[in-house]
Structure 1
């Protein structure tokens, strides 16, 4: 093997190594390392049909099979989707925009995850700031005494009688997040619900309801004691 061949081969290896190292290092204008981004970039695009099939398909959870939602029958603006944050609130805040029937979880970097919700009827709404003081998967439903007084048929599910057992027909659905204000339970909840037709409407007794698939996603994003703002 000639000396010329060895020399040229060594030069080729050194050049290749230099190229690899250069590709692993970025430099700023002054020749130093480029700063890391403040927050990860997230796509702000509507979900595709394939993504919606997964998002709103059947779910096995907690020993129950949540049926698929015929999302094609729901206004697309109420699909779970990432959007540019319109709230102006700090990251980690939950915001309920009651007039628009949207719930937002504010993310770092100027985005928010948005969910369509059903809200309380006139006279059965709450507004203000509080905290998500407690969260519960597959909760028991215990209608407050005021509701039982209005609807005596619910007495079998009253607080005194232990409430309704968790399940697919339970009005609180697969998850419930309990809103407290100044350390006191407001009796208002963010919760799942099997009635997907109610999303975008004012039909509940004051609580904010989501589709079960969406409330599971929300539950996984919202920590204990997260700040919540409900706007009327």
Structure 2
């Protein structure tokens, strides 16, 4: 049992782990909603040990500043002190989720790139309009009327080592656009990224790999 726990800890810490999708912000890529069976996803960390996140990567990250919320998106700890202590211990070996505000979004821009959204141009990175085939149909339809989904922003230059993220369900995603007044201007440091999403593993009817589609390549 001790060996199994050590192996689990090593896998969760250095390779990857399982997460739960609690909201609809990444639909249709990832399904999640209150009261439904949200997707269970798997992330890997290995590629970020030797490289940096790239545009189009779907990532799980910890909200880096207070503006992202102080409480986890789902209640992951018991109010009972003893049970909560056990849950904290199990989280170290990957048998319970960590007690932090983890979110899942898509990387749109990376360090030293300048991103903005203007009604006349839509979202641009380094003054080049991005192309996003993964967007939810509602977001695509709304963009025909308002290219910024009522949320013009920027321009901001993403700090080196950080990323700017947005949800595929653009109308229902409190992503980097909504945190641009904080000290990081809504960007996410690499240190707060928990992994790159590689697959949906549950429910079984939704099993699939998750592709990184680079919006900057058209």
- The alignment's TM-score, normalised by the length of structure 2, stands at 0.26
Rg comparison, structure with higher value: 1
User: Which structure carries more relative contact order (alpha carbon 8 Å, separation 6+)?
Assistant: 2
- The alignment's TM-score, normalised by the length of structure 1, stands at 0.25
